[in-house]
Structure 1
Amino acid sequence: MLERYTGCTVSEAYATGSNGIHMPRYPYYAAYDLPGECHYYYRRSVQYLTCQTARFLLIGGEATTLVKEGVVDFSQDLTPWWHGFFQEHFGKQMGEVVRYAGGHSYLEYLGNHPQSKLVVPHPYPADQIASDHYYLENPELIVQLNDKGRMADISSHCIPYEVYDAATFAGKTWREHWELPFVIKLAAPSGGGDGVAICQTEADVQAAQERFGGHRVKVEHFIGGYLANYNLNLHVDRDGTIRFIGGSEQRISASARYEGNFIDLCWHPSPELEAIAVEIARNAANLGWFGVCGLDVIKAADDKLYFIDPNFRLNGSTPFHFIREHFLTHFQRPNLETGYFCYPGNPLAFLDAFLPEIEKKVLMPVGLYYDPRYDQKTRVYLAQVTENDVDAHVSLRDTLAQRGLLPGIHL
């Protein structure tokens, strides 16, 4: 059984200390984006993407977290709360937060800190960020390991697939090798289910060709009626030591959108599931990679396990695993339902409205996004917590919704 990882911050996980800059997901912005690996993201709302950068504020530690404007800095924007609940519980886990505006200002910040090591899930073109600015000696590993078209390089448990370049995918010859249903995915990193299309009909295939046009894709067999969709967070040290951070079952919509996680903080994977995750992490470590990965594995109806998505970065569930000890002070076996929620008011109004639940750790917000230029809603990434009771989660979610806390971002 894997030893449990006990680190609590980005600076610990990536061994950067105070010399690190953590940049969460989706650093590109449409006004600045260049054709290439990442411009697909901007078919999704910019507000959605910037909300995602707020997920990791409470786990920065000594590292600086560089985020888009609109992300709420707990220590600056929530002064009465910071000098109470949040500072008491998370003061040592939250490092400096620096916010930028526009597509170029984060590059200016990075350029002014050339000695700081950058932890980022999507690398930049070499003419923007020099290779020696990253925490990895070879930053191209970020691309390689997150490439869905190269998963077979690091795992023997993939669903059979083929990879097609943009020109081949735009044509018809590849269809001769596939019978419906099947799944089409962007090969380049994507998130939240944005890069996944489940094809049941020819109309679905045509829609996917339009949606992913101009991009390299993978096509894989469709596994219907699966029993579980696991996300396993592992930590790999510089020396290759692998530890278990935590696991969860992912909440996935019928259209394959990521909606959050169900987390049992005392859960440990079966030996078979652990072996698959260790195989993948070991292969990545042998290439020179270290840090945090979240590996998605499904259990099919016949109990066979398949590796379906590489996430060599902090995951949506990572903050809650890192702060697990906070939950264990109030619950014997805390079960969490995580995801984005939306509240019709500013962040202080949200916090004040749910003060009892937050103090009891029934609600645990780890990131807030609020841009009054856009609307008057607070987007919050949080966990709803109960004592190992699925029915209690449903009741809690319904009660909170009646008080204005709605699941989803509600753009």
Structure 2
Amino acid sequence: MSDGLLISMEYPQPTALCPDERSLKSAELVGYLNNKASISTFVDPRFQARRTIVTLDDLTDAAPAEKSWVLKAATNAAHGASLDVYLHQAGQPVTLPAFADILTEFVIEEYLHIHRNWGIQLYIAADAQARLLAVTEQRVDADGIYTGGRFGHVTPLPAELRTECLAIAQRAADVGYRGLCSLDCAQTRDGQLAMLDLNFRITSGSIPLLALRSIRPDALDRPAESVKLTADTPIATLLDALRPALRAGGLLVTGGHDTRRTDNPINQSTLHLLVYGDDPADVATRRDAIETTFGH
């Protein structure tokens, strides 16, 4: 900042650290756009799942064990992106997540039975125009938890969702947002089209695309799948184990983190990888082999 450059924050930072006048977008705007309660402001009602905003005092009555529902945090603070979405299936015991102990407001959303799940990658440049970067697909497990993305050859996005995603990004641009965003949307088993989440920041959907564009631009339109590995061993140990696969080609390391380099008392290493190639089946097989090797 001492050189006169503007900071583009991805999560709200204290103004003492990043004054608004030195930021491309204010902390208040970033927090507001990423608040799960803001979806109703930016999404056309046709594409909204049924949802209500409740206080902590009303949470128990609004989230009964006998019904299926999704619990999302409603906060402008984002808490360093440590808040997860909690999915509850009817008849299962209710075990509220940790964020229920630190927040006072929540979003209760209907549980959708998803057939297709996309992540729409967009960007808003200095000219304040929203543009489509790519359409990706999201891999989710049996419990509906995100496990990675598919890139390149994906199921076509319905035209109505494409139009709405561009409109959402433009609405954000009109209130001052600049940068990358990822909009999660889906088609349910009964054909309903819905927006699930608005992520106004760099995400695990955009980082692989940026990596390919920088390192292997020829692979941008080829099949690819992302995967995250976690282990309690040092990150160097994880990388050593991956070296044969890296030398064989068709694999990129797009990010990594080792808590041993922080003040976190829990030792954990994380690696973000992208498997790419010419054949979707081969890519999926190699991605599955990596997950199996590392116990995921």
Give TM-score, length-normalised by structure 1: 0.60
- Structure 2 distance, partners of 1:210, 1:367, is 26
Query: Shift in Å at residue 364 of structure 1?
Result: 0.4
State yes or no: 1:280 paired with 2:168: yes
- Structure 2 distance, partners of 1:210, 1:350, is 29
**Which residue number in structure 2 is paired with residue 187 of structure 1?**
74
- Structure 1 distance, partners of 2:157, 2:268, is 38
**Which residue number in structure 2 is paired with residue 168 of structure 1?**
58
The SS at the match of 1:118 is coil
Query: Shift in Å at residue 251 of structure 1?
Result: 2.0
State yes or no: 1:219 paired with 2:108: yes
Larger CA deviation: 353-362 vs 342-351:
342-351
**Which residue number in structure 2 is paired with residue 196 of structure 1?**
86
User: Could you tell me whether the CA contact under 8 Å between 2:24 and 2:178 is conserved in 1?
Assistant: no
| C-alpha distance 229-192 of structure 1, shift in aligned 2 (>3 A) | farther
Question: 2:119 is aligned with what amino acid?
Answer: N
- Structure 1 distance, partners of 2:267, 2:74, is 37
User: Could you tell me whether the CA contact under 8 Å between 1:266 and 1:333 is conserved in 2?
Assistant: no
The percent of aligned pairs where both chains have the same amino acid is 18
- Structure 2 distance, partners of 1:361, 1:228, is 30
Q: Larger Cα Rg: Structure 1 or Structure 2?
A: 1
- 1:31-61 per-residue CA deviation (whole Å, 9 max, x = no partner) reads xxxxxxxxxxxxxxxxxxxxxxxxxxxxxxx
**Which residue number in structure 1 is paired with residue 27 of structure 2?**
139
| C-alpha distance 150-348 of structure 1, shift in aligned 2 (>3 A) | closer
| C-alpha distance 375-283 of structure 1, shift in aligned 2 (>3 A) | closer
2:277 equivalent among 386, 394, 409: 386
| C-alpha distance 133-265 of structure 1, shift in aligned 2 (>3 A) | farther
Cα RMSD after superposing both structures: 3.4
1:316 equivalent among 204, 224, 239: 204
Higher-strand-fraction structure? 2
Larger CA deviation: 288-297 vs 245-254:
245-254
- Structure 2 distance, partners of 1:302, 1:398, is 29
Unpaired segments ≥5 residues, structure 1: 1-18, 20-112
| C-alpha distance 144-348 of structure 1, shift in aligned 2 (>3 A) | closer
- Structure 2 distance, partners of 1:139, 1:265, is 36
**Which residue number in structure 1 is paired with residue 123 of structure 2?**
235
Query: Shift in Å at residue 221 of structure 1?
Result: 1.5
- 1:240-298 per-residue CA deviation (whole Å, 9 max, x = no partner) reads 22222122111223344322212226876442221011110111111111111000001
Query: Shift in Å at residue 322 of structure 1?
Result: 1.7
Question: 2:272 is aligned with what amino acid?
Answer: Y
**Which residue number in structure 2 is paired with residue 122 of structure 1?**
11
Number of equivalenced pairs: 286
- Structure 2 distance, partners of 1:350, 1:175, is 40
Give TM-score, length-normalised by structure 2: 0.80
Unpaired segments ≥5 residues, structure 2: none
State yes or no: 1:337 paired with 2:228: no
| C-alpha distance 324-397 of structure 1, shift in aligned 2 (>3 A) | closer
| C-alpha distance 216-337 of structure 1, shift in aligned 2 (>3 A) | same
| C-alpha distance 377-286 of structure 1, shift in aligned 2 (>3 A) | closer
- Structure 2 distance, partners of 1:385, 1:293, is 23
- Structure 2 distance, partners of 1:290, 1:266, is 27
